[in-house]
Amino acid sequence: MTRSDSRYVGASVRSKEAPRHVTGRGRFVDDLVLPRMLHAFVLRSPYAHARIVSANAGRAAHATGVYGVITPDDVVRLTTPFKPGRYAAGLRVPVPEYATAVGKVRYVGEPVAMVAASSRPEAEDALELIDVEYEPLPAIVTTEAAAAPDATLIYDELGTNVAWQGHVSFGDVDAAFARADRVVSANLGIHRYSSTPLEPFACLVDPTPERLTLYCNCQNPEVVYEAITEALGIDGVRVAVPDVGGGFGQKIHLIRKYAVLTALMAVQTGRPVKWIEDRSEHMMAAGHSCDQEFDVEAAVRNDGEVLGLRIADTDDVGGSVSTLTIHFTNKLNNLFNTYRVQNLRLEGRSVLTNKCPVVPNRGIGKPGMCFIWERMMDAVAQELGLDPIAVRRRNLVTQDQFPYTTPNGNIIGSGDYQGLLDRALKNIGYEDIRAQQKTGNDRLIGIGVVIGLEPGGRNAARDMAIFPKSKQMPGAGGVEGATVKIEKNGSVVFTLGAPSCGQSHETTAAQIVADVLGIPPDRISASGGWDSSLSPWGVSCANSGNNFHLYDIGAVHGAAMRVREKVLTLAAHLLKVDRSALDLRDGIVGRVPSAAPNSSADGPATITFAELGKIAYANQALLPEGFEGGLEATYYHSHPHADPGMLPDETGRVRAQYTFGSAAHAALVEVDPGTGRVKVLRYVIVSDNGTMINPSVVDGQIYGSAAHGISVALGEGFVYGDDGQLLTLTLLDYGKSTTLETPRIEIEHHPVPDPYTTLGQKAAGEGAAIPSPAAIASAVENALSPFGARVRRLPLTPERVWNLMHVSR
């Protein structure tokens, strides 16, 4: 397939997933029922910080209907602790972490025990019969308190609550500050929020004699697969991922604890065990983004050129060491945003507190980095009395610089940042709005225009950039497979190497296969959910890192090309023509009309996939010599340009991700002067996602991630009491936005194909969640300009905005 003959790629073809979802026939873990299945409940810590004096299963074990109880003692006796992963490589001493709390609880909701019974009510009742005695310890809920010299230690073995400190530095930062006309500084902050997928965690384990099967709504099956293998010491493990009700990073890390507990329960009882997390459990213990605080200094020239940035980043990582540096290292993916600035130093501190551990959320690290850059661009403009757009333009990577290598080693293949800004300004009517603002009226209307990257395709070695001495490399680059098969009846089925959480992977992959094999998408289907024993998966198997567009598309394209080769070879043999004279269209292989119309007319002119299938699988006599039977192929894809910078060098330069989409966001907001409430009047996005395989799917990803980022900026988030209790246990208190607060989002596509990917595609997933918090902050600050207010922290709740107007400026 060449780009010119794509019939389905580039079209908004009908969704493959929709028919089952609109009829309620999606199959999610909680929809599955197995014979003799037990129901499990998790007992959780009521304390933010306490020593576990004892935990006794006795009374619960003898309760009606109860088949099994697992206490921390059982977990220590029967399982191996999780290996420190790539995000715990910076620990001074290794800290064993198990599926339950052991010895201490470190956050409210931390799992302590599990009980399984033949019915849900029996299991729930039995929870109260597990006797756990706690010795409460002081709860630490702020990084300042945690870092105080006399602070109670959350992990005694670390000797400090500042569990990791490190930095990356590129260019000559000191020289940049030395030659600066001035230094602009700001203290910035982003609060604790989360992704709150509609479907909470779910595990169902079937311990059949030959192996243990886990049905689980995990995004990255490798994490739970390895967790069970290592924790239970068995390799007869199968992980199956059916439909998943949203992921966004939430279902990657902490879900392994429950996978292991449920698996252990199934092994102990010899029965299938189902565990379904409830919403309040999800809110308190399934993982949050971290509260991040940034002290930022920008070295600038009077013309608005930014010479360098110094950032001191404090991440509140909660009560676990397993994801210690995850928010820090994800900043490497867009460390310089869209700017050609050459000098930057980022210092990081990961501070433990008695709050929920941190996990990825839509965009992780990148929204923070974009927030830093875009807030500083506005701050620089204010300080220098320049136009904020002009300051951005002064510093953007220009078109002649592509492919552009950032100082930390990312290679940005293509882009048109000035063009994105031009279109965003035009679409929102920037000049008119500015002019109206000057005429002066009572309304507090503000406009914010920002720009950001959407990195895609993870390099497995990225996190080692901050641990150059680590001996345990978790992998490097990316590897991911896919299988494509023409069935005996001529229909086509494909198997992807990674699960989907609702990003229309079945639809998009079918479009690729359709074009390569010349068969309409309605004759193509996905083989089903993800299955570790059937899916060809590598290190890039992840519904995260924006991996799909790079690895899975590359893999399914490669597999389809291999099948196409087989089809052509077999058809040419059977039709007795040269393969170059053949074409594939609508499931039929035939002579290209223009090619040799007068060639011998002995045999039939065409052959269908079904006819080929019957021969390929059933009639060896008709196969060409040396032809492998069947019409199936598997292909593992890696990024063709992954080699340079794949491994971190001694300065920490590494290709963190491989493709870089980009977008300009323009927000028009109105602040209610009486109540401090912010209303988004218009929201405009101009987006470069490279070649779009399915524009409708791309739109869907942009709508959803923008809505999330806007909601985060305007108020959704977690609140802890000073005793470490989470107060926002419901979606209502947490403040997820509804149809009414979510603005209409206006999208224009401005695709610039990526020179290195299979079809020129770039990522289209979490992207709009990255600039949107910064866009809202910028617009609100502009609206509050009569008060001289500076927006430095999120969220912009009515309370915070009112205070910006009237109390703290």
The interface mask with another protein, positions 721-760, x = CB under 8 A, is xx--x-xxxxxxx-xxxxxxxx-xx---------------
Q: Does 798 bind another protein (CB under 8 A)?
A: yes
Instruction: Give how far Cα 161 sits from Cα of 81, 348, 366, Å.
Output: 21, 14, 25
Contact string (CB under 8 A) for another protein, positions 2-21, x = contact: ----------x-xx-xxxxx
b/e string for 66-86 if b means 16 or more Cβ within 10 A? bbbbbbbbbbeeebebbebbb
Pick from 481, 499, 616, 456: nearest CA to 223: 499
Q: Please name the residues in contact with 708: beta carbons below 8 A apart, sequence gap of 6 or more.
A: 195, 248, 362, 769, 772
Binding mask 165-204 vs another protein (x if CB under 8 A, - otherwise)? ------------------------------xxxxxx----
Window 231 to 290, contacts with another protein (CB under 8 A)? 243-248, 276, 278-280
Whole-angstrom CA distances from 584 to 337, 593, 628, 759 are 43, 12, 20, 19
Q: Are 702 and 685 contacting, i.e. CB atoms less than 8 angstroms apart?
A: yes
CB closer to another protein out of 18 and 605: 18
- Whether the CB-CB separation of 38 and 117 falls below 8 Å is answered with yes
In angstroms, give the least distance from the CB of 620 to another protein: 37
CA distances (Å), 543 to each of 264, 421, 547, in order? 26, 30, 7
Q: Which is nearer to another protein, 13 or 633 (CB)?
A: 13
CA distances from 621 to 248, 604, 616, 627 (A): 51, 18, 10, 11
Q: Give least dist CB 721 to another protein, A.
A: 5
**Number of shown-chain residues binding another protein (CB under 8 A):** 85
- Shortest distance in whole angstroms from residue 473 CB to another protein: 33
Please give the residues from 478 up to 537 whose contact with another protein meets the rule CB under 8 A. 501-504, 507, 522
Smallest distance from the beta carbon of 717 to another protein, in angstroms?
A: 11
Inter-residue contact 497 to 221 (CB < 8 Å):
no
Task: Report how far apart, in Å, the C-alpha atoms of 84 and of each of 145, 216, 331, 470, 474 are.
Answer: 26, 22, 21, 12, 11
Report residue 116: phi and psi, to 5°.
-130, 135
Strands (E), 501-540: 524-526, 530-531
Q: Which of residues 650-709 bind another protein (CB under 8 A)?
A: 672-677, 696-697, 699-700, 703-708
Rounded least distance, CB 64 to another protein, Å:
12
User: Are 544 and 39 contacting, i.e. CB atoms less than 8 angstroms apart?
Assistant: no
Return the number of the residue (474 or 529) whose C-beta is nearest another protein: 529
Closest approach of another protein to the CB of residue 729, in Å? 6
Taking the complex as a whole, how short is the minimal distance between the CB of residue 727 and another protein, in angstroms? 4
Near another protein by CB under 8 A: residue from 4, 23, 439, 594: 23
Residues 312-341 that bind another protein (CB under 8 A): none
478/490 with CB nearer another protein: 490
Tell me the three state secondary structure of residue 591.
strand
Is residue 738 a contact partner of residue 420, using CB atoms and an 8 Å limit? Answer: no
- Evaluate whether 741 touches 711 at the Cβ level (below 8 Å): yes
Residue in 461, 459, 504, 511 with CA at minimum distance from that of residue 480: 459
Contact region for another protein (CB under 8 A) — 24-32, 545-553, 625-633, 781-789?
A: 24-32
Choice from 96, 121, 159, 603 touching another protein (CB under 8 A): 121
Return the number of the residue (644 or 721) whose C-beta is nearest another protein: 721
What mask, x for binding another protein by CB under 8 A, covers residues 122 to 141?
---x----------------
- The answer to the question of residue 443 lying near another protein (CB under 8 A) is no
Nearer to another protein (CB atom), residue 240 or residue 706: 706
Smallest separation (angstroms) from another protein to the CB of 278: 6
Q: How many CB atoms lie within 10 A of CB 764?
A: 31
The least distance separating another protein from the CB of residue 199, rounded to whole angstroms, comes to: 5
Give the 3-state secondary structure of residue 254: coil
Calpha distance 132→687 (Å, rounded)? 53
Task: Return the number of the residue (621 or 740) whose C-beta is nearest another protein.
Answer: 740
Stretch that binds another protein, among 140-148, 328-336, 456-464, 720-728 (CB under 8 A): 720-728
Alpha carbon distance 644, 655 (integer Å): 8
Which stretch, 54-62, 571-579, 590-598, 716-724, contacts another protein (CB under 8 A)? Answer: 716-724
Structure tokens, 92: 């001074």
Residue 756 near residue 777 (C-beta atoms within 8 A): no
At its nearest, how many Å lie between another protein and the CB of residue 25?
Answer: 7
Smallest distance from the beta carbon of 240 to another protein, in angstroms? 17
230 vs 741, which CB is nearer to another protein? Answer: 741
Q: Which of residues 27-66 bind another protein (CB under 8 A)?
A: 28, 30-31
Please state the closest distance from residue 793 (CB atom) to another protein, in A. Answer: 15
Q: Which is nearer to another protein, 47 or 294 (CB)?
A: 47
